[in-house]
Structure 1
Amino acid sequence: TCTGSNIRCFSQGSNQFGLYYPSSVRKVAGNVRCISVASSSLAQDVVNDSSRPSFVPKDVVLYLYEACPFCNEVKAFLDYYNVPYKVVEVIPIFKKEIKWSEYKKVPILMVDGVQMVDSTDIIDKLYQRIHPENSASISEEERKWLGWVDNHLVHVLSPNIYRNYKEALESFNYITSHGNFTFTQRVIAKYGGATAMCFVSKKLKEKHNITDECKALYGAAETWVYALKDRRFLGGSNPNLADLAVFGVSRPIRYLQSGKDMVEHTRVGEWYTRMEKDVGESARIDSVS
C-alpha cells in the first residue's frame, strides 16, 4: 500500500549534506514546509544550468511503484531540482526488492546509504538541504494545499486509476512495461494486481464516501484551478511545493484514460502543461536491477 503521511520514519543516520550555492541561484518552490532536519553529509556539488539549485549526491536510489501517487510526488521533486536518481521498481505482490528494509512500504529513498521514508518527510528533508537559508515555516496558503493533497486529492486518484477492470489492466500494463519484470512476474503483476486494485479501489470509495469517482476527480481538478486565482502557479511565477505535490501525485493518471478525461472535462490542462515544462526532463538515470 502506498502511503504519504502519518508514518514513522526510521533512523535517518548522521551524514552531513554539504551544499554549495552559486550567487546566481534563484529561490524557487516558495517557503519551506515545517521541517525538523537532522544533519547529514551527502552532496558533493551543485550543478545548475537553469539557475535552479540542484545537488548531486554520490548515490540516490528510489524504491517505488510506478503508479503510486506518493512515489511520483518524490520523483517530481527530484526532477524539478535536477537530482539524479536511480529507480528500483518494487513488484507489489512480492515486494522482494525492499525485503532488506524494516519499512515495507514505498517510497523509500536511499541517499548515500541513508534511508528516508514517507514522501512528505523525504521532501521536507531534501528541500531544507537545498534551501537552508529559508525559515522553517510556510505560508498558510501553501500549508493548506499541501494538506489538501494528502487528505483529499490522493484519495480520489486510485478509484479513477482502477475504476474498472479494463482500466486497471491498462494501468498495470504500463507499470509492468516500465519495471524490471520477468515475463512471469509481468503476467502475475498485471492480472493479479489489476484484480486486487479493483477490489481496493472499491473499498477506498466506500471509506472516503466517493459515489462517483469521475465527478470527484473533476471536482478536485477544478478546485485546484480555482486556488490558482489566475496565477501561473500557486507559487506565483514559479512552482512551490504545493504545485509540485499536486503535479507529482497526479502524474500516474495523466496519460491513462481517466487522466485524459480529466483534462478534457476540466480547466487543469493548461496548468499541467506549464508544470511539465517547468519540471523539465526526468533526472532519472539507469535503473537498478
Structure 2
Amino acid sequence: MRRISRLATVCRAGAVTANATTGNTMPSCLVRTSLYSSSISGRHHNWFTNACPAITSTNLVDPPARFVAGNMLFSSSAASSASVSDEFEPKSKAYPKDVVLYQYEACPFCNKVKAFLDYYDIPYKVVEVNPISKKEIKWSDYKKVPILMVDGEQMVNSSEILDELSQRIDSRDKVDESSDEAGEEKQWRGWVDNHLVHLLSPNIYRSPSEALESFDYIASHGNFSFTERIVAKYAGAAAMYFVSKKLKKRHNITDERAALYDAAETWVDALKGRDFLGGSKPNLADLSVFGVLRPIRYLTSGKDMAEHTQIGDWYSRMEGIVGGPSRVQG
C-alpha cells in the first residue's frame, strides 16, 4: 500500500509539472516516462509511410494485436531501407569501448541520445531507471536522465552529450563553428528542445483514450512491480490527461493537432529539398528531431501526423540510416 501511495503522490506531482528540459526531474518523472510511449517492437521499421506491405518493428517485444493495423501506416520497402542504410553507413575511428545509458524508455531526451548511438553504430547497454525510486542512479549526484557512462566517465544533459560525443568521434565532417551550416544546425536543435517537445504531451494525452494508450508503456516497459504498473496506467493516465490541458494553456496552444502538424511541416520546409538538414547525411539536428519523434510512432498522434503532413519521406530515410536497438548489447 505504501508503494501505491508513493506512486499516486508522484502522479499528482507530475500533474503540476510542465517544464520540458533536457533531463527528467523526479516530480516530472511520469510526464517524461509516459510522454512518448511505444508498445511495438522489432527492427528497421519505416515510420510515416502511408502505403506499404512490409511490417517490421523497432523494439524487443512483439506488438500487441491492437496495433497491427497501425503498423501498415509506418512500414516501407525493406529493400529501400537497406540501400539507404548501406549508402550512408557512418564510419568511426575512435569509438568508446564501454557505454551504458541510464534512461526512461519513453523519454524524448534519452531517445535523442539513443538516436546518436544507433546512427554511429556504437554498442551500448541500457539500464531502465525506475522513476519512482530511482534506485538505479542512486550512485550519481545527478538525479535526472539521461545519464551516459562512457568508459567510466559520466555525461549528462542530452544536448551536451551529443556535443561531447560528436567531438570525440572522428566519423563526420567537422563543420566550422562560424559557418552557416553550424548556425542552422544549432538553431534547429534549439527548436527541438524549446518548441517541438512542448507539443507532444498535449497531443498524446488529448483524450482519455489517448492517455491510456500512452500509458501502455508503463505496463510493458517501465521498471515497476505488477501493482505499480496497474496503478500507474490508470492513475497516471488520468493525471496526465489533466496535465496536458495545463500544458496546452501554458504554451498558448489552441489546437494541439494543428500545432503538431505545423511543426512537422516547419521541419520539412527547413530541409529545403535536401535529404537531411545536414545535406547528404544527417547532422545533430536531424538526429534530435528523429530521436524525439521516434517513441510516438505508434500512438494515435503519430499516426495522425503521418497522415496529415509531408514528414514521411525524411523520417523513412532517417529510420533506414539510424537503424534500431538490434545494435544494443547487454
Report the TM-score, using the length of structure 1 for normalisation: 0.77
1:3 and 1:106 in contact (8 A); partners too: no
Letter in 1 for 2:238: T
Per the alignment, residue 285 of structure 1 pairs with 329
For the aligned residue pairs, the C-alpha RMSD in angstroms reads 2.4
Q: For residues 66-215 of structure 1, what are the structure 2 equivalents within 5 Å? A: 66-131=105-170, 134=174, 137=177, 139-215=182-258
Structure 2 gaps of 5+ residues are 1-16, 26-87
1:30 corresponds to:
none
- Deviation, structure 1 residue 201: 2.1
**Cα displacement (A) at 1:88:** 1.8
Q: Aligned with 1:237: secondary structure?
A: coil
Aligned match of 2:21: 3
CA pair 143-178 structure 1, distance change in 2 beyond 3 A? same
Judged with a 3 Å threshold, the aligned counterparts in structure 2 of structure 1 residues 156 and 173 are, in CA distance, closer, same or farther, namely same
Any conservation in 2 of the 1:61–1:109 contact (CA below 8 Å)? yes
Q: Give the Cα–Cα distance (whole angstroms) in 1 for the partners of residues 89 and 115 of structure 2.
A: 17
Q: Larger deviation: 190-199 or 158-167? A: 190-199
- 1:173 Cα offset (Å): 1.0
Note if contact 1:54-1:82 (Cα within 8 Å) is conserved in structure 2: no
Q: Structure 1's 80 and 214: CA in aligned 2 closer, same or farther, altered over 3 A? A: same
Amino acid of the structure 2 residue aligned with 1:191:
Y
1:57 is displaced (CA, Å) by 3.1
Aligned partner of 1:243 among 260, 263, 286? 286
Conserved? CA contact 2:147–2:154, under 8 Å: yes
User: Equivalent residue for 2:103?
Assistant: 64
Q: Deviations over 1:27-75 (max 9, x none)?
A: xxxxxxxxxxxxxxxxxxxxxx945227543432212122211111111
| Distance in structure 2 (CA, Å) of the matches to 1:97 and 1:128 | 28
Structure 2 vs 1, CA of residues 93 and 163 (structure 1 numbering), >3 Å: closer, same or farther? Answer: farther
- Quote the Cα distance in structure 2 between the aligned partners of 1:225 and 1:240: 15
Greater fraction helix: 2
CA spacing shift, 1:285–1:167, aligned 2, 3 Å: farther
Contact persistence 2:89–2:321 (CA under 8 A): no
Residue pair 1:67, 1:175 contacting (<8 A) in 2 also: no
Partner secondary structure for residue 193 of structure 2: helix
Residues 230 and 91 of structure 1: CA distance in aligned 2, closer, same or farther (over 3 Å)? same
For the residues of structure 1 that align with 2:293 and 2:223, how far apart are their CA atoms?
23
Cα deviation per residue 1:187-217 (whole Å; 9 max; x = unaligned)?
2332233233223322221221112111110
TM-score (norm 2): 0.68
Aligned length: 244
CA contact (8 A) 1:93 1:193 kept: no
SS in 2 for 1:181: coil
Q: List aligned pairs for 1:252-263, cutoff 5 A.
A: 252-263=295-306
In structure 1, runs of 5+ residues without a counterpart are 8-48
In structure 2, do the counterparts of structure 1 residues 93 and 194 end up closer, same or farther at CA, with 3 Å as the change threshold?
A: farther
Partner of 1:33: none
The structural deviation recorded for 1:175 is 4.3
Once residues 101 and 227 of structure 2 are traced to their aligned partners in structure 1, the CA distance between those partners, rounded to angstroms, is 24
Give 1:236's aligned amino acid: G
- Provide the C-alpha distance between the structure 2 equivalents of 1:104 and 1:73, rounded to a whole number of angstroms: 18
Distance 1:64 1:255, change over 3 A: same
